[in-house]
Structure 1
Amino acid sequence: MNKRELIEKAAENTGQSMKVVAAVLDAVLDTIQSTVADDGKVSIAGWGKFELAKRAARMARNPSTGEPITLAPTVRPVFRAGTGFIGLTRQKHAAGK
């Protein structure tokens, strides 16, 4: 499902126009992105948590030369599914859907 399909389905489920649903979805996604980028967390009970994962600087090897190199610290956004989301996924998968 892509973003347009998601908006269409949500508009159908809520009875709202696609324009309204698209504006709300964009606002929610922008809020999640800016919060996580500012080192915050967004937690939706039973659904999941968005947060920033930090990785410290580390030593690695150049695969071509075998020389050791230092990799800079990095950050990346992560999503951790909540128990409700995991339970539904397992239930539907076990039912063969």
Structure 2
Amino acid sequence: MAKYVNKSSLALILMEEYGMKKKDAIRVIDRIFDEMGDALASDGQVDITGFGKFVIFDRKARKGINPVLKTAMDIPASKLPKFKPSSTLKAKCNKDRE
């Protein structure tokens, strides 16, 4: 069965491996993700060696179709986070295909 990871499962790992209280483990996880979000919000990047890189992608304004009314509409430009996996992560995900 595929493994599912969320904030609670990460907190459990920190609790078991480092003897932390759940409240403290969640604070650590929140702090890490807050820092990552702040870096991306300021057009920075997050580079985690062996995992991958998060960068900001500028999406241009474009035309679209309103799915409800079926009319043309303008979609404004936006910035989106984009993930580029490291070669280490790619290899790990494909190790059973070799």
**TM-score tier after normalising by the smaller chain length:** 0.7 to 0.9
Partner of 1:15: 19
Partner of 1:87: 91
Q: Does 1:57 align with 2:61?
A: yes
Shift of 1:41: 0.3
| Deviation per residue, 1:40-61 (Å, 9 max, x gap) | 1010112111121111112335
Q: Residue 37 of structure 1 is aligned with which of 26, 29, 41?
A: 41
What is the CA–CA distance in structure 2 between the aligned matches of 1:20 and 1:32, rounded to whole Å? 19
Q: Which runs of 5+ in 2 are unaligned?
A: none
Are residue 25 (structure 1) and residue 29 (structure 2) matched?
Answer: yes
How far 1:9 moved relative to its partner? 1.6
Q: What is the rounded CA distance, in whole Å, between the counterparts of 1:60 and 1:19 in structure 2? A: 45
Distance 1:28 1:38 in 2: 16
Distance 1:11 1:85 in 2: 25
Please give the TM-score of this superposition, normalised by the length of structure 1: 0.76
User: How much does 1:14 deviate?
Assistant: 2.7
Q: Superposition RMSD on alpha carbons, in Å?
A: 2.1
Report sequence identity in percent: 29
* Structure 1, unaligned runs of 5 or more: none
Q: Secondary structure at the match of 1:51?
A: strand
Structure 1 window deviating more from structure 2 (11-20 vs 81-90): it is: 11-20
Distance 1:85 1:13, change over 3 A: farther
Q: Distance in 1 between matches of 2:21 and 2:65?
A: 54
